Amino acid sequence: MNDMKELHKFESAASKCTRTRRTGKTQVWRKDGSAWWDGFVICGQIWACMVCAYRIAVQRGKEVQAVIQAVRHAGGDVYHVVFTMPHDRRDDLKEMRQAVTKAHTKTVSGRPWKKIKHDLGIIGWVRALEVTHGWFGWHPHLHILLFTRHPLSQAQIDVLWQFLYERWSEAIVAAGYRSPHPKHGLVISHGKDAGHYVTKICNQGLAAEISQTDSK
C-alpha cells in the first residue's frame, strides 16, 4: 500500500510538470540560442517525468564531459569500469539494486583501497547505475569512470582489475548471490569509450544515479 501511495505521488507531480502554472504569470526566457518558459511547475522527478529526465541528463552529461576534458588537459586519463552480478528471473530488483550499491561501497573502501588508489594515482570517479530487463530478468549494473593522474600501463590495469574483481566478488557473495564471472563480472576499458558513456547518460537516463564521490 505504501508503495502505491509513493508511486501515485510521483505520477501526480509528473502530470503537472510544465503544464500547471506555478505563478499567475508566465514568460519566455531566451539565452544562447535557447528558449524556455518560466512560471510553470517543474517536478524534478527523474524516474517518472520524461521532460525532467532529459533536462537533468543533458546537464549531468555536460558536467561529466567537462570533468573528462579537465583531467585529460592536466595529463591524466579516464577508464570505464563496469560492475555486474549474476541474476535470474526470481531475483527481486530492489534487493539487487541495494546489493550492487552496497557491494561497490565495500569494494572501494578501507585501507587496501586507499593504498591502491595512491599507488595508481586514482583521483576520483563518476558512477551511474543502469537497470535493464531481459530473458533472465532484471539486470542492475554499475558504470564507473575512473580518473587517474596519469595514463596506466597494462600491468597497472591488470593489478587494478585483480583488486577490484576480488573485492567485488567477495561483496556480491556476502550479499547472498553467486560469484560474478571473471570475464563478465568486472570489465575495465580505456577512456576512449568515455564519449559513448556520456552519450548513453543523455540518451538513456543513466544520470538518475550519477554521483561524484571520493574526488579531490
CA quadruple 119, 121, 122, 124: dihedral sign? positive
With a threshold of 0.85, does the pTM exceed it? no
Per-residue pLDDT of the chain (216 residues; tens, 9 = 90+): 444 444 445 455 556 666 555 566 655 556 566 655 555 566 656 556 766 666 766 777 777 778 888 988 999 999 989 998 877 677 677 888 888 889 999 999 999 999 999 999 999 988 887 777 777 777 778 888 899 999 999 999 999 999 999 999 999 999 888 888 888 889 998 876 665 665 565 555 444 444 443 333
Three-class DSSP labels, the chain: CHHHHHHHHHHHHHHHCCCCECCCCCEEEEECCEEEEECECCCCCCCCCHHHHHHHHHHHHHHHHHHHHHHHHCCCEEEEEEECCCCCCCCCHHHHHHHHHHHHHHHCCHHHHHHHHHHHCEEEEEEEEEEEEECCEEEEEEEEEEEECCCCCHHHHHHHHHHHHHHHHHHHHHCCCCCCCCCCCEEEEEHHHHHHHHHHHHHHCHHHHCEEECCC
Which CATH architecture best describes the domain 50-213? 3-Layer(aba) Sandwich (3.40)
Show me where the domains of the chain are located: 2-38, 50-213
At 205 the pLDDT is: 47
At 64 the pLDDT is: 79
At 214 the pLDDT is: 39
Residue 135 in grid coordinates:
530473458
